Amino acid sequence: MSRPENTTGISLVQQLMTVESCFGNTPIDNRGLMVFNVAGGTNVEDALETAKTLSSGLGQICDHMHDSLNMGELAYCDGVKTLAFIAEAVSALVWSIQRGMKQGPEGEARQ
């Protein structure tokens, strides 16, 4: 009879998942509601891939806007607000992952 090896890694049964994390403040409503959220129970790898893609695209758009502004073109408030939204979405994904890592696979807090 073989003995299982001790491991500090995460087994397949203990996949890390995101927890719900809301973002997108509703400034007109004034009740502190959020319009968007990161769904709880999503695999961390998927959430990280999405955050990576969004942040990479955000950097590309910022570089393009920087070059355009240096050439004398105008920037529009809606475009800047879009950049802020993408940054907020990436932040919500990362927060969701961090909070999910502090909880166990069944939602219990990790030590």
Per residue in 71-102, pLDDT (tens digit) is 999 999 999 999 999 999 999 999 999 999 98
Least confident span in 25-29, 52-56, 70-74, 98-102: 25-29
Q: What are 7's two structure tokens?
A: 């491991």
Range of the domain at 74: 15-102
In a domain, 110, yes or no: no
Distance between first and last Cα of the chain: 32
- pTM comes to 0.77
Q: Are 93 and 51 in contact (CB under 8 A)?
A: yes
Q: Are 26 and 37 in contact (CB under 8 A)?
A: no
In a domain, 10, yes or no: no
Total of domains in the chain: 1
In a domain, 22, yes or no: yes
